Amino acid sequence: MLGPAAAFAGEKDFAEMKKRIRKIAGFRPYRKKLCAGLAAILAAAICMALLILHNFSYARYIGSEDILVYEFSDGDASLLDYDNSLYQMISYDDSYVYVNREEFDDFLHRNHAEGEIYIVFGGCYKMPGLGSAAESCFYESNSKDKVLRIPYENTSTHWRYWLFKLL
């Protein structure tokens, strides 16, 4: 018997077999440059679609500059009548709330407030009814200063506030 060596007996047959094996070994089902170009076009299209969606979408949260005053008495919380004059009586920065005591006491008297008074301000809310976050402080009515400076803890730098705005 001649065995496998007989297949390569002729020089022409060996050259053809070698050429055929090289073509099989070098076969690529796709061109690398073509695939890289298509991937770049696809990535650009996805980025463009995300930018378009972002520009036309609602914000994940809505910032609020409202100032609200709540009265806590007998275990119940109630919002005192909202009044645009609160912006003239109350202002705040990153660490303190400033309250014009005389005007604010008149406001409380007009609204028959008798319990603990909390001032709620700033913050943000999701779609109405789905949650909100804000800053707050307790109003102490026994001060004699003309303008009260009430310290508060600014929660807008906490990770929970950031997570709330992200979700």
Instruction: Write out pLDDT tens, residues 96-137.
Output: 999 998 888 888 888 888 888 888 888 777 766 667 778 888
Q: How confident is the model at residue 156 (pLDDT cuts 50, 70, 90)?
A: confident
| Distance separating alpha carbons of residues 64 and 153, to the nearest angstrom | 17
How far, in Å, CA of 18 to CA of 155, rounded?
75
Enclosing H/E stretch for 14: helix 11-25
In this structure, what are the phi and psi dihedrals at residue 84, rounded to the nearest 5 degrees? -65, -20
Q: Residue 7: is its pLDDT beyond 60?
A: no
Quick one: three-class SS letters along 93-155?
Answer: CCCEEEEEHHHHHHHHHHCCCCCEEEEEEEEEECCCCCCEEEEEEEECCCCCCCEEEEECCCH
Give 19's DSSP letter. H
Structure tokens at 118: 């909390």
**What does the radius of gyration of the chain's CA atoms come to, in whole angstroms?**
37
The domain limits of the chain are: 10-56, 62-166
Nearest residue to 135 (alpha-carbon basis) of 68, 56, 48, 39: 68
- Angstrom distance (rounded) from CA 10 to CA 158: 82
pTM above 0.85, yes or no: no
SS3 75: coil
Cα–Cα distance measured from residue 136 to residue 120, given in angstroms and rounded to the nearest whole number: 4
pLDDT digits (tens, 9 = 90+) for 54-90: 777 666 677 778 888 888 887 788 888 666 778 888 9
pLDDT of 45 = 96
Residue matched to tokens 């026994």: 142
Separation CA 133–CA 141 (nearest Å): 25
